[in-house]
Chains A and B, each alone.
Chain A
């Protein structure tokens, strides 16, 4: 559309109508979008072609005028009360006659707790199907983090509870606190950014803490971006958001869920007193164990020495016994014992006679007895 200006010398000047037409034409090029807000100041008359109401942002009170064709509005039978939350689908427009900017709604949906819950359930099912909440994804918390990251609102309670729990249990703990929005439309993005900033700064574990609040207050903690950021966080995350009965989706994606900020604080640091005691006990065991090995080894050495001292006598005794044994056997083999029993040894010149045929009649033999002997001559042989 051509917008005519009047020239006053070097100054271009638009009439109000032309200006409004120009802006209206520009606005008409903007896309159609969904807008969420609470309905107030609903004005409807059978004499009007359109219904008018104001959409109010419950977070910051921003207002937006809305118009909608009456026939369409009536057909929806929404029966909207003041404060009802709706999603309006439409595009911005300028009411040229009054220079008023508003949203021209093409469609309107009530969006209450039920719809919220349904949307949440859908998101939960989708993320669960991706395995974002799976038990095998959960990482163990470090026993002794060099630095703990804490994402919290600037409301004192949750932050104070975490810090108190941490420093009571482990006084020398280092904590890096990222204060951020924890409610409202900016919260999800702000918490995601805080998580990233903490990781960049270097922490070993992160606590996301937020006190209790209404269902809607806690909604940012079920935001898909936030839930994914927690699941993808390079360090383990402990989630302590809301009360026990609230289960925002971030609780499911976190590595550990704590029922309260204090519990989260106790989970991320070890008990210093216990840790020191355990360490000192180990050290005492180290000394005791080493001394034990030393003493046992000394005992072994003493034993060896005693055996060494006993060795020569033992050897002598063994030799003596062996000697006695040999003497006994020698005695048993000696012919002397046989001669004692009445036998005699008969020799001819240089040989012992074992058979009658070994001598000739008349040959001289020597007979040896147990005591002495005599010479003899052979009478006959057989």
Chain B
């Protein structure tokens, strides 16, 4: 699952819940899934390290 997919699913769940049409058991299931998606997205943001690396094969790249 990509970040984008997770974010979209999460927002769809929120919409469904806020529409107030979900029955209680469904609402609880949606909430659980939503929390899971939230944690996934948050983790993706938290684990990015901000690494700037150089690709080391300049000599290779320089060959005509």
Contact A143 B61 (CB under 8 A): no
Selected interface stretch from A63-71, A181-189, A373-381? A181-189
The answer for the CA separation of A185 and B31 in the assembled complex, in Å, is: 59
A166 nearest CB across to chain B (Å)? 9
Contact B27 A177 (CB under 8 A): no
Contact A143 B31 (CB under 8 A): no
Chain B contributes a number of interface residues (CB within 8 A of A) equal to 41
Q: Is A119 an interface position by the 8 A CB rule? A: no
Contact A175 B53 (CB under 8 A): yes
The answer for the CA separation of A172 and B45 in the assembled complex, in Å, is: 8
Selected interface stretch from A207-215, A291-299, A309-317, A357-365? A291-299
Q: Which residue of A167, A178, A189, A292 is within 8 Å of B20 (Cβ)?
A: A292
Interface secondary structure of A, over-half rule: helix
A286-B62 CB under 8 A given contacts A167-B50, A176-B55, A293-B20 = no
Contact A282 B38 (CB under 8 A): yes
Contact A286 B14 (CB under 8 A): yes
A interface, size bucket? 35 or more
Residues 154-186 of A contacting B (Cβ, < 8 Å): 163, 167, 170-181, 185-186
Q: Is A276 an interface position by the 8 A CB rule? A: yes
The answer for the CA separation of A175 and B23 in the assembled complex, in Å, is: 46
B56 nearest CB across to chain A (Å)? 9
Q: Which residue of B2, B10, B48 is within 8 Å of A174 (Cβ)?
A: B48
B2: which A residues are within 8 A, CB to CB? 142-144
The listed residue with most A CB atoms (<10 A of its CB), out of B18, B34, B42, B61, is: B61
Interface bits A123-149 vs B (CB < 8 Å: 1, else 0): 000000000000000000011101000
Closest to A144 in B: B3
Contact A180 B38 (CB under 8 A): no
Closest to B46 in A: A172
A177-B55 CB under 8 A given contacts A285-B14, A286-B35 = yes
A279-B42, A289-B22 known; 11 new pairs, CB 8 Å cut-off, are A146-B48, A177-B54, A180-B58, A186-B63, A197-B61, A282-B38, A285-B18, A289-B14, A290-B27, A293-B24, A297-B23
List 11 A-B pairs, Cβ < 8 Å: A144-B44, A170-B48, A175-B51, A190-B62, A193-B60, A201-B55, A275-B45, A288-B17, A289-B31, A290-B27, A293-B20
